[in-house]
Chain A
């Protein structure tokens, strides 16, 4: 039958993924069929899209092959908490997943809706899902070896310590100013010593070079321009991504002790 094998239309006589793997890529550790990794022998269908990863370092090793020297190992052992899975949270989670963070704990009470798609890292296939479940799918479509722990709840003082227990760094990815403030207070008193990276000011289409990373203390960092308010100026993907990128990069610096 004709299948798409590693991107090429190929006529194969094999009928299952194991047969393909053993015949053609005996050292492969990961087989992906139509976008999903398969862990058991799976029958092939006409035009199945099959990708067999035969990298010697395995899938996670290949994904982090381009990681900055000395950083991949620290990231792989780290747990990052993300409070909010919206414009900031969905993008931070994605950047950290691509960077090989070993475990992500993410909490958000909300569901994906169409207006989110202008800046949040979701697609049509996620509409209606809890954001934390949607981002879990996004992450596993990048690297299924990353552990994602989801909480479809509103974070408050009563649950924050339990939700983010064990985190090496916590990201504040809320959208309401007073909630951002409350989270900073709660984490600093209930999870003392755990660094926090916050975002404030990423609305509109103004110059991105007004956005920066400010160190408030060894355990508190603030990214954004500090001024642009979403409800007044609209909120658009590029500046949100800049802020999310700043936050994810600061997380990586903190984990690899280069902050």
Chain B
């Protein structure tokens, strides 16, 4: 919503970069491009593209819920007539602790996938070009707002094309978008000061392993990002996590949406456990719950 106004930030960021150069410092800058696994578009057949962002060493950009500081990364599509873009998909973020503050984002590189749906007919069209504007806040010790205009050309055809050199990169980050996990059940309760997430875990989840799970809500400013997260086992065989609300104390509403991830993401590991959470509000709060 705010970002329509941010469109002109590119020119402003360039000025800022010039100011850094004038002071003899290396400007902090990231680069972005649009990637696809296949450069052939078939009429009416949805396909996934990704916005690939490479970051300088030690810097990060922000998740949809950036935490205590920072701004969410933002993407606006410019598509040919009849094409639609699905919601931006957010790979699992890492947590960046700057005591007493906590933020959520990505270091090194990230791909934000999105599903593009072409119109059912593309008669007489041989090639199309998809474009997007991406804006981010890049922070190391200091922060620099930045962004890029990215675009990619496609051929219209009847059969899939050959995988591009970016197919594996895109697939790697599609696999890092948290999805619902089997065997888990969630619900939540809330009052003015806190949210309580209840989890029924699959067999094999010990209290010790539960304590490695960190919850990050989708919504910005709902909880205190730096508050310690301590899962407790209840007598009913569930686990419960108390999440203090932010000072603004907004209500989560009917569902608490977010992700659970094992550990904070440092150092990055090839095999990480993470999944999405969509917890309904408990209809009959259990007054005996601790």
Answer whether A and B are interacting partners: no
